[in-house]
């Protein structure tokens, strides 16, 4: 976690911008954070192989509890008691340094319970002031999170501006949401307004807490509330239920944002994932029926076409339909909806729109056009290959182009990749990189090609050689997979020497064992 380097400072918060100041500077005129960097990023992530998106670490590992949890909580409570009894910068420094070492979300509930248990022994005014200072003046995320959480113990409007400002940043939204709920009787209004300013994990945390008390909130949930940059699947069910999507779609006519939102929500429910899916949604038959009714006149874009394809595939796939029929669906509904979706999908008007969409510079339109073309069996391979000339390190294009069983096309793509991917920059030697983020886009392109080259004996030797020397573990695994499938006669001396050398220096035990196994099996 933290690798604290400011040892030349008397106090860890000296000579650094506060997180509160940084967030206020980053907020645009619409109340959104335009840059989610925090002043402690370099320290916090210094020893971590992967930097999580804002709020990601807390939300993914929020239920993780360390073995020494009770000891950590007891120590922190003691330090707070000491600082509240005699507030000094010396005591604050000890407390602050201890807070730096804690993963706040994993112990915060137990910490607050332990703090409440000491209520008769603590100076409440000093506790409030210390929590306010941590939230307002803290320069590291963990102390700020503890400050926000403690402020939530006090029911007052005094700190609402502070914690809502911090909550605009997804790293702190979870803590701000809980504190807001505990601080004011008007918490739902604050949560709703804050939800309009975040797009990531913070929005997920807020929408899950917002009560659909007004028509404005319900309308927002099914038009905008489900949208987030993590996964729509997290909020689709919550927004469909709390936004009463079935009632909204029952109107004779609906607006375009509602139609678009309904398509997104239905598609997310069908995709399923980390939250409730289409089979958990009691109103699914009604919603699909009404959506199809409106689609007869409103299904006009390739994005709408893909929503329709999702519904069609859901209805067409026989898996789980025995259970669905037992839960309230009827065979007549399924047949009727399937017919309606077929009529909308298999229409000659789409081909022109798909070709136009493929030329779009908008990545969302381009992706939807590729997906629709694949479903309708429109051959767009040459078009995408030509586009690769302008975007030679585009993993999405490589992924789509590899969806072919024609060897001549694979050979063309491999030849292009060997000439245009920065193989020398990729082949820097084996390491333990996960290969995530923009810095590894070329490695991702290589990975996409390698994962299917095992079907093509001897095709792409330069790519395999680069994969063996990549710092990304998956690249090396994919290259090994290829060599395992190829005949040894197709390897060539370069690959034989490369795999022997890698077997000696490979840093990952499992990969090394696989290398030695292949060398033995291939008798090289």
What is the rounded average pLDDT of the residues 488-505? 91
Over the chain, what is the mean pLDDT?
93
Q: 31 near 196, Cβ under 8 Å? A: yes
Q: How confident is the model at residue 22 (pLDDT cuts 50, 70, 90)?
A: very high
CA-based nearest residue to 83, from 96, 72, 73: 96
Mean local confidence (pLDDT), 428-450: 94
The pLDDT value recorded for residue 436 is: 85
Selection from 298, 229, 304 nearest residue 264 by Cα: 304
Among 140, 48, 37, smallest CA distance to 93 is for 140
444, 435 in Cβ contact below 8 A? yes
Q: Report the pLDDT value the prediction gives residue 8, as an integer from 0 to 100.
A: 56
Cα 288 from Cα 311, distance rounded (Å): 8
Residue 222 structure tokens:
């099914």
The confidence score (pLDDT) of residue 17 equals: 94
Which among 311, 379, 367 is positioned nearest to 342, based on CA atoms?
Answer: 311
1 — pLDDT class (breaks 50, 70, 90): low
What pLDDT, on the 0 to 100 scale, is given for residue 346?
96
Contact status, residue 244 vs residue 218, Cβ threshold 8 Å: yes
Which pLDDT belongs to residue 69?
52
CA–CA separation, 476 and 408 (whole Å): 25
pLDDT at 4: 53
Q: Is the pLDDT of residue 65 over 70?
A: no
In 280-315, which positions are buried (b, 16+ CB within 10 angstroms) versus exposed (e)?
Answer: ebeebbbbbbbbbebbeebbeebbbbbbbbbbbebb
Burial class (CB in 10 A: 0-12, 13-18, 19+), 352: exposed
| Residues 264, 229: Cα–Cα separation, whole Å | 13
CA separation, residue 423 to residues 418, 419, 427, 439, 504 (Å): 7, 9, 6, 14, 22
Residue that has been written with the tokens 């077929």 in this structure: 342
CA-wise closest residue to 455 among 421, 478, 476, 422: 478
DSSP-derived 3-state class of residue 472: strand
- Phi, psi (rounded to 5 degrees) for 301: -115, 165
H-helix segments, 208-283: 215-220, 236-242, 245-249, 256-271
The span from the CA of 80 to the CA of 92, in Å, is 8
Q: What is the pLDDT of residue 43?
A: 84
Give the position of tokens 């030849």: 415
Residues contacting 475, CB < 8 A, separation 6+: 426, 435, 443, 446, 447, 450, 466, 467
Among 307, 318, 315, smallest CA distance to 372 is for: 307
Cα gap 245→265, rounded to integer Å: 9
Domain boundaries, the chain: 1-208, 212-347, 379-522
Alpha helices (runs of H) in 208-360, residue ranges in sequence order: 215-220, 236-242, 245-249, 256-271, 284-298, 302-316, 321-326, 331-345, 349-358
C-alpha 505/C-alpha 516 separation (Å) is 12
Q: Is the pLDDT of residue 442 over 80?
A: yes
Q: What's the pLDDT band for 50 if we cut at 50, 70, 90? A: confident
The whole-number average pLDDT for the span 238-259 is 98
CA angle 92, 150, 159 (to 5 degrees): 100
Output 127-133 pairs: Cβ under 8 A, ≥24 positions apart: 127/80, 127/84, 128/154, 129/87, 130/80, 130/83, 130/84, 130/87, 130/92, 130/95, 132/159, 132/162, 133/92
pLDDT at res. 7: 57
Residue 437 or residue 480, greater confidence? 480
Structure tokens, 230: 């993590």
- pLDDT, one tens digit per residue, over 128-156 is 999 999 999 999 999 999 999 999 999 99
Name the band, by pLDDT with cuts 50, 70 and 90, for residue 66: very low
Helix (H, G, I), strand (E, B) or coil at 462: helix
Half-sphere exposure for 115 (CA within 13 Å, toward CB): 28
Over residues 302-361, the pLDDT tens digits come to 999 999 999 999 999 999 999 999 998 999 999 999 999 999 999 999 999 999 999 999
* Closest-CA residue to 403 (of 421, 438, 426, 378): 378
- Give per-residue pLDDT as tens, 70-127: 557 999 999 999 999 999 999 999 999 999 988 888 889 899 999 999 888 899 999 9
Q: What long-range pairs does 23-26 form, CB within 8 A, spacing at least 24?
A: 23/165, 23/166, 23/168, 23/169, 24/165, 26/169
């Amino acid at each position: 976690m933290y690798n604290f380097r400011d040892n030349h400072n008397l106090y860890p918060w000296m000579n650094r911008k506060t997180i509160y100041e940084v967030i206020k500077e980053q907020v645009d005129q619409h109340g959104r954070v335009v840059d989610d960097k925090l002043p402690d990023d370099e320290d916090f992530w210094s020893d971590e192989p992967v930097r999580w998106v804002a709020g990601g670490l807390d939300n993914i590992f929020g239920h993780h509890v360390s073995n020494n949890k009770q000891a950590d909580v007891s120590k922190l409570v003691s330090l707070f008691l000491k600082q509240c009894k005699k507030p000094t910068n010396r005591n604050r420094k000890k407390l602050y340094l201890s807070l730096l070492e804690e993963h706040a979300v994993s112990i915060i509930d137990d910490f607050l319970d332990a703090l409440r248990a000491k209520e008769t022994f603590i100076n409440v005014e000093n506790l409030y002031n210390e929590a306010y200072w941590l939230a307002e003046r803290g320069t590291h995320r963990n102390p700020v999170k503890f400050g926000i959480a403690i402020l939530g113990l006090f029911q007052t409007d005094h700190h609402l501006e502070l914690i809502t400002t911090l909550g605009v940043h997804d790293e702190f939204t979870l803590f701000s949401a809980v504190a807001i709920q505990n601080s004011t009787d008007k918490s739902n209004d604050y949560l709703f307004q804050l939800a309009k300013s975040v797009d990531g994990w913070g929005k997920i945390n807020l929408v899950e807490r917002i009560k659909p008390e007004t028509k404005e909130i319900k309308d927002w949930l099914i038009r905008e509330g489900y949208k987030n940059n993590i996964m729509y699947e997290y909020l689709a069910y919550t927004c469909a239920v709390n936004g009463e999507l079935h009632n909204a779609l029952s109107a004779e006519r609906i607006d375009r944002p509602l139609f678009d939102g309904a398509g997104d929500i239905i598609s997310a429910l069908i995709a399923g994932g980390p939250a409730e899916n289409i089979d958990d949604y009691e109103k699914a038959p009604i919603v699909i029926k009404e959506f199809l009714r409106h689609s007869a006149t409103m299904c006009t874009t390739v994005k709408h076409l893909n929503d329709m394809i999702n519904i069609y595939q859901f209805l067409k796939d026989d898996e789980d339909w025995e259970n669905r029929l037992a839960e309230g669906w009827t065979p007549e509904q399924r047949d009727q909806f399937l017919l309606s979706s077929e009529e909308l999908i298999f229409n000659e008007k789409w081909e022109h729109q798909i070709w136009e969409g493929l030329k779009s510079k908008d990545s969302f339109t381009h992706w939807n056009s590729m997906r629709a073309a694949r479903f309708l069996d429109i051959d767009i391979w040459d078009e995408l290959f030509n586009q690769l000339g302008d975007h030679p390190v585009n993993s999405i294009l490589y992924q789509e182009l590899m969806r072919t069983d024609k060897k001549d096309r694979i050979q063309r793509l491999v030849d292009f990749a060997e000439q245009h991917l920065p193989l020398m920059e990729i082949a820097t030697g084996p390491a333990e990189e996960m290969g995530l983020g923009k810095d590894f886009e070329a490695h991702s392109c290589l990975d996409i090609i390698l994962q299917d080259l095992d079907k093509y004996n001897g095709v792409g030797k330069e790519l395999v050689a680069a994969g063996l020397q990549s710092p990304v573990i998956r690249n090396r695994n994919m290259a090994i997979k290829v060599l395992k499938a190829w005949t040894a006669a197709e390897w060539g001396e370069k690959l034989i020497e490369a795999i022997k050398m890698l077997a000696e220096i490979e840093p990952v035990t499992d990969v090394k064992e696989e290398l030695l196994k292949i060398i033995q099996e291939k008798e090289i």
